[in-house]
Structures are given as C-alpha cells and as structure tokens.
Structure 1
Amino acid sequence: MEPTARQEPRPTVREAVLRLLRDLNIDTVFGNPGSTELPMFRDFPSDFRYVLGLQESVVVGMADGYAQATRNAALVNLHSAAGVGHAMGNIFTAFKNQTPLIVTAGQQARSILPFDPFLFAAQSTDLPKPYVKWACEPARAEDVPLALARAYHIAMQPPCGPVFVSIPADDWEQPSDWVEPRQVSRSVAPDPHVLAQVAKALSRARRPAIVAGTGVDRDGAMDLLVQLAEQHRAVVYTAPMSARCAFPEAHPQFGGFLPAMRERIVDRLTGHDLVLVLGAPAFLYHVEGQGPHVPPGVPLWQIVDDPQMAAWTPTGNSLVASLHLAVDALLQAASPVKRAMPKVAPCPAPVEAGSPMSVAFVLQVLDEVRHKDDVVVEEAPGSRGVMQARLPMAGADSFYTMASGGLGYGMPAAVGVALGRQRKGLNGRTIALIGDGSSMYSIQALYTAAQLALPITFVILNNRRYAALQDFAPVFGFAPGEKPAGTDLPSLDFVSLARGQGMEATRVENPSDLSDKLRQALQAPGPRLIELVVV
C-alpha cells in the first residue's frame, strides 16, 4: 500500500492576506485602530508599516496622497460603521480623484451578527456607496484573500478608484488558501478608427486648443502632451478644477486655467477652431449657465479613461482610452500643418509688500524661495486663483489637490505624498498650502507628520475667514460686502495647535520677515508649520 502524501497545512486568512499584499507591493497600512479590526494585526510582521492617523478621514486622506505619489493602490483599515462614516468625506474625494484605495473595515464576529451586536455595521457594503467602485463582505472567511485580490485589481483598473471590503473579526484565524499573483491589464488602448478621426481633426485645425486635466498626469502622459502641443503649436489650457498639474505652467504655450463657468469657458476658447480635451470632463461647472458649451461651430474631441464621463459629455465626440497610449498614438498619427506660434501670455507684474500681507505677495515670495524639486499639496480654495497666477507648477507630479471640493483632504494628503516620495527616493520637500478654515477639518495630520519626521512644510494662509464663501457670495445674490453667516474665523492660533502635536511652528505678520522665515521652514530637517497672517 502506497504511503499517503503528507498534506501541507492550509494558511490562515491572515497569512494568505499578508502574502498577497507582499505580492502586490503593499507593505503600508494606514489606519486608526478599533476593536473589530484588531485581530488583523496580531503578530504584525516586521516588514510591514502601520501609519497611524488620529481620525478616520485623516487616514483616508493620507492613503490617497500616498497612492497618488507611489502610483499603486494604498491599503486603509477602518473601524466598522462609525469609522467608515467618519471617513466618508475623503472616500468621496478619493472617488473623485480616481485614486486607487483598498478600504477595509472591521466587522463584528460572524457568530454574533444575528444578534445586532455592539459596533457592528448593518448592511456594511451599502454604507460607502456610491463612492466606491466595488464593495464586498465575503460570504465565507476563507474567501477574504480572494476578495482582497479582486478589490486590488478593480481599484487599479481605469478609471481607478476606492474599493471596500468588510471583514468580520473572527475571520483572520480561519483556514484559507494562498492566492497566486496575477497580471491584469491596466491600460485601455484607443480605438484606431476613432483615433484616426481625432488625428485628422487635429491635423486640419489652424488654431487648436488643448484642454488638459488630471488624467494627463495620473496616466504619466505629461511629457507626451508637451511634445504634442509643441508639434502642433497648440495652446494648452488647464481644465476647470483639475486636481493635478496638467501642463508645465511656465511653458510658453500654456494658456492658463479655464474657470468652472460655461459662458467664461466659451469666451476663453473663442478664436480656436478645434478643442481637444484630454483627461478631463468637458466641462466641469460650479454654477449654472446658459448657451453653448464651446464656441458655436467649433468641434470638440475628448479623450478620457472613464466611460461614464465620456457618456455624459454634452457635446462633441469622445474616445475612451488611457491617456499615455492615446497621446502617444496622436504623436505618430497627426501630421502638423504650418501654424503660427501662439502668443505668450504675459507674466503678472510683481506685487509690492504690504501690511497686512496679501496672498499674492506671500505666494510670490514662496515661489522665489522654494526648491525646484518641491511639490505642492493645496487646499486653500479662497486663494486658488492667486496661486495659479503666482505659484506656477513645474509639470508631472508637482501638484495635488482635491477634485471633490470637499475640505479636509490637503493636510493628510501632504503626509501621504511625503511618505510616497520618501519611499520612491525622490528629492524635494512637500509644501502643504492650506487655508486656515480648511486646516481645521484635518488638523490631526500634524501629529502623524511630526511622529514620522517627514519633510513637509505646512504653510497656513490665515485670513481669519472662509474667504472662498465670502468671495463667492455675490454669485448667489448677496449684496456687496454682505457676509454669509458663520464665515468669520477669529482667534485661531496655529502655532499653538502645531506645538501641541509635537511640531515646531512660527507665525509671520511682517513682510520683511517672510523670505527668511519661509526659507527656514523649507530647509528644516523635519516637518514645520508656518502661519502667515494675510488679508
């Protein structure tokens, strides 16, 4: 009788998940620990890192920045219903940013779920919808590793975005099976027939306009876009509310930023005979408008990797494709005609110092003293127009903000970007340019930055008000000078707030001190906060 072959013991869910994460090059977990997810971290391996955030929305913001900087899905671990609820603001932002996140949440043990136990999540997969691409609570404990593998591939497939897996607390010790690594295509090739039509339209145009958005940088197509613009002598505009730098803003063919208003977009694009939109909606509006979406008679072509975005575009034609593949194909297919070089936009005149300091003066000085390798993470919506004029971004991976308009993203995202750049061995400092009102949504991010000694400078623009709301009020019928209720913010002390979380900080009110203090904050070995009192 032949001896029976010895059967290898099956791995636990925890062992299978950890090996899967290693295969996916994920070794960092962002979280704020709660009871139902503690079993995940028993015997936590030394080759993994747990990044603590002091509130769940902060945790998701950090993971978002990290995923964008590393170009790989980031893993976020949350508590059950309450923790996911706290995190929803930045889950919404991650969805709008098209950031690949694997969001896991603890769930109460399966054995007591029939009794509606304390801290369980009823209908757990419904809670994060509709702002995740996929949500699952596996039917069996042994299915957890496969569910996480599926979640990763869905998160990384275009359009990228967050996914959600609810995991009962008693699943981690159950037997499971290893998940073998797989390759899944993450690029969408352009339809050759449709691409040929785009190329033909571009070749025929005499004064083409390119409107570039977040997808250009996200798909690594920035250098290709520069070549395409130079080849065709096209003016390149940044799409409304773009969450990343879409084109080098000091380039002579950069035409500026389109506003999120229909009539003003048409006005800016008047004079062009073709509009080619790359990696952006056509168009994103903030207020209602009337009339056409592009100048009458001007054809519009859009290339995006999101079929939903292509479907709701109200005019023109759309091609669904990954931007790096589509722009590269256009470089080969479109034959430039003889065109005049577009006029160079004039640089804004220098701003003189004043007391109190203006935001324009502050950002002008920041532009002078920052290093060319520094990156900016911004959440100062009341100062964004001034930033666009005074703080030009260099190109790929130089700028990050939120596509959602939801506050509370910028400070933790800066932590994640700094961590991601550190992991990739990149030089330069992360500059978090944050409004005073915005900072209070996620001020806990300072603690994580201080604990990890990250190379971040938090620049707080303290104008003691929600400037964006006050400036925007006339659009909604407020009389000149009339302030909406609840939009003043007196008495905030950001130096004390930073020091209370372990970070050195300074306040600047005198413009003669600004340059030296900014240099010190940008050259410090660890994180610093500098509060700038502005008008």
Structure 2
Amino acid sequence: MTPMDALLEILRDEGVTRIFGNPGTTELPLLDALTKAPDLEYVLAVQEASAVAMADGYARATGRPAFVSLHIAAGLANGLIGLLNAKRSRTPLVVAAGQQDRRHLVEDPMLGGDLVGLARAASKQAVEVTHARDLPIVLRRAFALAAQPPEGPVFVAVPMDLLREDVEVEVPPRTPVAPLGAATRLDEAARLLAGASAPAIVAGDGVGRDDAVAELVALAERLDALVYHHPMHDRLNFPFTHPLHRGMIPPRNASVREALTGHDVVFVVGAHAFSPHHYTPGSPIPSGTRVMQLDDDATELGRNFPVELGLVGGIRATLAELVALSGFVTPRGGAPVSQPRPVTSAPSPVPLDPAVAARAIAAGLPPDAVVLDEAITVGIHLRPLLRLDRPGSFVHTVGGGLGWGVGGAVGTRMAQERPVVAVLGDGCAMFGLQGLWSAARYQVPVLFLVMNNGEYRTLKDTLAESYGPGPHPGLDLGGRDWTKAAEFFGVAARRATDDADLRVLVASVGSLTAPLLVDVPLH
C-alpha cells in the first residue's frame, strides 16, 4: 500500500477514530485522503494549543493514545504548551506535523524548520521520517512508546511529499503488549505495612491511570491507613468521600512533611516524587519515617528522597497482590472527611466570594459529573469540598500550561457520556479561548464556568505574602463580559446572579445538549 494508505491503516489498527488538528499546506495530503476515510473524523481546532488540549482530555478519558495533526514549525510551536502539559501529566499522545517538501528543504523554505529540535524537550521522543518505507514502523513505535510507562506524547514529523509518493510500503502488524504484572518482594512489602502502627498512603496519579482505585481502597481499609492525595493531583486516585481520605497535600516540602508527621510508615503509590511548587527547605519526609514506593516507572523510585523498599510493577496488579497478602487491622477511627457547608436560604448576590462560589459548585454537582479544574485560586477552595468517588471524576493538569481547560473539557466530553463541568479561571480561559469554537462546532455539551475576578489572583496573593502589598504591575485583567466572548464563538452564555443560581446551573449540567458558558463574577 502507499504511505498514506499505511498511515490511515495504522491509525485504525491503533484504535484511532478521531484526528484532532489544525491544518496547513503540509497537511493537505492528509485532508485529501480523509475524504475517502469516513470512519476517521477530523476534529478541527482553530488554534493548535486547543487541538492538543482536546486530544489530551480525550486520551485520558479513553485510556489510549490520541492522535494529533499539527502544521509545520509554527503550528508545532503553538502546540508545544499542550505537549508540555501532556508530558508532565503522562498523557499518551502521538503528535504528527507535516514537514516541508524534502526536495527544497536545503533552500530553507518558508514555514520549514527544525521540527524535531522544537519538539524534543516537550515529548518522550521526537523523530522525522526521511524514507517512505520507514513511516509504518516509526508510527508503530510512536504508539507503543506513548503508552509505555511513563506515558506521554511522542512527536513524528512527516514531509508532505513523502505522503504523496506512489510506492509500496509494508505495514507491520500491531504487537500486543501484556500489561505489567505485580512487583516482586511483596512478602517483604506486606510485612513492612503490617508492622506499621500509623501507616499512611500517598495516592499518586498512577493509581488513576492504571484504574487501580478499587484496589487502593481495599488495601487502605485492610491497613486502616490514612490516604493523602498527591500534591496538585491530576485525577481521582482515591474516593474523596471515603472516611480514610485526608485530602490533597499542598505542593511544598514543608507541607508534605507536616502532613506525614506522626506516620511511621508511608506508602507512596504512583506519584511523581512530590512535585513541589513553592520552595521550602528540607526533605518532604519526616525524620525517622520509613518509606515504601510503588511505580510502573523504575526511574521514579528514590528520585527525590530515599526509600526503604522500591517496587516496580503494574500498580493495579501489585496492589491486588498486596491486598491478598494483608490482613485486617482494627480501625483506629479518626476525623471524618470534610463536608460541604450547607447552602443557606439567603442567596449571596454576585460578585461572589471565591469560597462561596466553590461551595455552590460542589453542592450542585450531580453524582455522575466529571469536574475539570483549571481555576487556580477557586480550585484550592473547591477541591476539599468535592464529593467525588467514581474513577475519572476529576481532571486537572499538573503541567501548569494555562489554556488547557477549555479544550481539555471538550475532549473529555467527546470521549464519554458523563456530564462535564469545567471550572476555569478567567486568566486561564484567556489562554485557551479558541477552544470554544470547537465546542460550538461539534455541539459538545460542556458547562464552562468562568471564575471572573479580573485579575491574576494567585500572583497577587503570593506577592503579598512574600513581598508585601502592592499594587504590582501586570496582574490586572480588568472587568470582562465573558458572555460576549462566548457568543462570538457561537456558545450560549449567561451570567450567574447569585450562588443559588450557580448551584442550579451546575445541577442541570446533565440536561445540556450544547455547550453553555456561565460568567461567574467574583470579588
């Protein structure tokens, strides 16, 4: 078959049904081929960062690599923020970009450039195909590598003339890879846990990625171990409603150390070290605490702090074995998990206090909803109030690249029938505004809540804490009417009037048949 036929055949064989992209001249051969491939839907974004964000949300929800098509050097540069987020959040993506025609690359043609050099730091691997016969094996490798721990984006540059070559290429069959089995030395691990008088578990995103929430719950209950979510976790890795859940540890070594003080044994499961954000001196591990760590990526073990026992293996398989090896201990009890405050009968009019807005959102959420969080300051208020217990109910990116939320929510909802509530800071939403065009184009029923405080609140708070009160430059966005922005892109919009109104809007997300943006004015 031809190189283009091989590309499409491999996409089908790898389970791809949607191609997320923004096209240019170097992608025209692909667009022409897709006219004869109705089983492969091209999902158009009007900016490359939105395309990658949509693919990111889609890949997380489906659990398999998503495919993205970007346009040459400039388009790849626009999409780099999405690749950085995907790499940090370990989202499996195969990202392709068209390269200029090889016959005049030596002339430094317009739009051409070092695509591999651009993509290298933001991906697990970056390669450029130079011969048509190599395209099938390069694509097979890309899909395999994207899904191999640590999961992440793999970049492939494909010259446009290569896809138009009328030559025969062979497509290697897909190689099924068995999932990782349980780690070794589990008898020793079970003894370490059984000997703990006050064990704790840190639940990292590897738990959610490997669909191991039920196994972690079973182990925590057998050990009567308190469970902390990893700092700024991207997923639901332990039910927020469980009595043993103690919430998220703040992303500072001092906060981790404080939370873990008093625990004699700490089991770190599927976590990327502790990912501190603000510097505080000292180790995250309290003196004298024994640490055991489990990950499917051997490079994580002992990465930032020494561990007594490091386990490499499939997280779900290993936890299941540990459950079988662990006996029940007598529950010690403890403080109940935090509950959302009841909503008072007297509504608070807008602009709302951020904590009031967070309570309204948490109170209104339907049981089957997925919360996507890209609201930095409101998100800190919201996380402790969420009553989420189903796997896949929480989506975030620890990558820190702003603008991911709009596209991420669209891709999340495209992949499943569960209602999606995207809680977005207005500063974050500014970076990803173009994603609303795709939401409208494909009538994706996401509820976008824009937390409109007209400023970079988290920076103001940090500056005030570290340097004293301002005013400081570069932190004010000014009042913006987000309903007008939504309407420009074809998305229905309205402004919340009070916290009761916001709660009702969140509660009705399951009845949406098209996207809706709600402007939520905040103090």
Provide TM-score, normalisation by structure 2.
0.95
Distance (whole Å) between structure 1 residues aligned to residue 196 and residue 280 of structure 2: 28
Distance (whole Å) between structure 2 residues aligned to residue 512 and residue 237 of structure 1: 31
Which runs of no fewer than 5 residues in structure 1 stay unpaired? 1-10
Matched, 1:478 2:473: no
Question: Which residue of the partner structure matches residue 478 of structure 2?
Answer: 490
Question: Which residue of the partner structure matches residue 289 of structure 1?
Answer: 280
Question: Which residue of the partner structure matches residue 446 of structure 1?
Answer: 436
Question: Which residue of the partner structure matches residue 417 of structure 1?
Answer: 412
Distance (whole Å) between structure 1 residues aligned to residue 328 and residue 298 of structure 2: 29
Instruction: Please state whether the residue corresponding to 2:120 is helix, strand or coil.
Output: coil
Aligned partner letter, 1:478:
Y
Structure 1 position 405, deviation (Å): 1.5
Q: Give runs of aligned pairs for residues 263-278 of structure 1, distance below 5 A.
A: 263-278=254-269
Cα distance change of structure 1 residues 179 and 504 upon mapping to structure 2, 3 Å threshold: same
Aligned partner letter, 1:438:
C
Question: Which residue of the partner structure matches residue 67 of structure 1?
Answer: 59
Structure 1 position 283, deviation (Å): 1.8
Tell me which of 112, 118, 130 is aligned to 2:110.
118
Distance (whole Å) between structure 2 residues aligned to residue 346 and residue 515 of structure 1: 19
Matched, 1:102 2:117: no
Question: Which residue of the partner structure matches residue 506 of structure 1?
Answer: 494
Distance (whole Å) between structure 1 residues aligned to residue 138 and residue 241 of structure 2: 45
Question: Which residue of the partner structure matches residue 173 of structure 2?
Answer: 181
**1:518–1:530 Cα contact (<8 Å) kept:** no
Matched, 1:393 2:395: no
Instruction: Please state whether the residue corresponding to 2:116 is helix, strand or coil.
Output: coil
Question: Which residue of the partner structure matches residue 369 of structure 1?
Answer: 364
Runs of 4+ with deviation above 6 angstroms: none
**2:137–2:172 Cα contact (<8 Å) kept:** no
Cα distance change of structure 1 residues 55 and 315 upon mapping to structure 2, 3 Å threshold: same
Tell me which of 231, 235, 241 is aligned to 2:232.
241
Structure 1 position 311, deviation (Å): 4.8
Q: Give runs of aligned pairs for residues 76-225 of structure 1, distance below 5 A.
A: 76-122=68-114, 124-174=115-165, 175-185=167-177, 187-193=179-185, 195-225=186-216
Question: Which residue of the partner structure matches residue 5 of structure 1?
Answer: none
Offset from partner CA, 1:373-398 (integer Å, 9 cap, x none): 11011101112220112223223100
**1:188–1:320 Cα contact (<8 Å) kept:** no
Matched, 1:354 2:377: no
- Give RMSD over aligned pairs: 1.8
Distance (whole Å) between structure 2 residues aligned to residue 511 and residue 326 of structure 1: 44
Structure 1 position 363, deviation (Å): 2.5
Offset from partner CA, 1:128-165 (integer Å, 9 cap, x none): 11221111112312211211111000111111110011
**2:371–2:422 Cα contact (<8 Å) kept:** yes
Distance (whole Å) between structure 1 residues aligned to residue 499 and residue 330 of structure 2: 49
Offset from partner CA, 1:161-188 (integer Å, 9 cap, x none): 1001100001112223232322342633
Tell me which of 14, 17, 29 is aligned to 2:7.
17
Structure 1 position 100, deviation (Å): 0.6
Matched, 1:403 2:398: yes
Structure 1 position 321, deviation (Å): 2.0
Question: Which residue of the partner structure matches residue 384 of structure 1?
Answer: 379
Instruction: Please state whether the residue corresponding to 2:118 is helix, strand or coil.
Output: coil
Distance (whole Å) between structure 2 residues aligned to residue 483 and residue 141 of structure 1: 59
Structure 1 position 512, deviation (Å): 4.9
**1:78–1:103 Cα contact (<8 Å) kept:** yes
Offset from partner CA, 1:80-111 (integer Å, 9 cap, x none): 11111111111000000101100001001111
Question: Which residue of the partner structure matches residue 531 of structure 1?
Answer: 519
Distance (whole Å) between structure 2 residues aligned to residue 348 and residue 367 of structure 1: 7
Which runs of no fewer than 5 residues in structure 2 stay unpaired? none
Structure 1 position 517, deviation (Å): 4.1
Instruction: Please state whether the residue corresponding to 1:415 is helix, strand or coil.
Output: helix
Instruction: Please state whether the residue corresponding to 2:228 is helix, strand or coil.
Output: strand
Tell me which of 35, 41, 48 is aligned to 1:56.
48
Structure 1 position 316, deviation (Å): 1.6
Question: Which residue of the partner structure matches residue 30 of structure 2?
Answer: 40
Provide TM-score, normalisation by structure 1.
0.93
Question: Which residue of the partner structure matches residue 467 of structure 1?
Answer: 457
Matched, 1:27 2:17: yes
Offset from partner CA, 1:226-245 (integer Å, 9 cap, x none): 11111111111101111111
Using the TM superposition, name which of 506-515 and 154-163 deviates more: 506-515
Distance (whole Å) between structure 2 residues aligned to residue 515 and residue 290 of structure 1: 41
Distance (whole Å) between structure 2 residues aligned to residue 441 and residue 309 of structure 1: 32
Distance (whole Å) between structure 1 residues aligned to residue 280 and residue 503 of structure 2: 42
Distance (whole Å) between structure 1 residues aligned to residue 240 and residue 147 of structure 2: 29
Aligned partner letter, 1:177:
V
Instruction: Please state whether the residue corresponding to 1:382 is helix, strand or coil.
Output: helix
Cα distance change of structure 1 residues 102 and 346 upon mapping to structure 2, 3 Å threshold: closer
Distance (whole Å) between structure 2 residues aligned to residue 516 and residue 337 of structure 1: 43
How many residue pairs get aligned? The number is 516
Structure 1 position 306, deviation (Å): 2.2
Cα distance change of structure 1 residues 512 and 237 upon mapping to structure 2, 3 Å threshold: closer
Instruction: Please state whether the residue corresponding to 2:218 is helix, strand or coil.
Output: helix
Structure 1 position 348, deviation (Å): 5.3
Distance (whole Å) between structure 2 residues aligned to residue 411 and residue 514 of structure 1: 19
Cα distance change of structure 1 residues 183 and 402 upon mapping to structure 2, 3 Å threshold: same
Structure 1 position 34, deviation (Å): 0.7
Structure 1 position 337, deviation (Å): 3.7
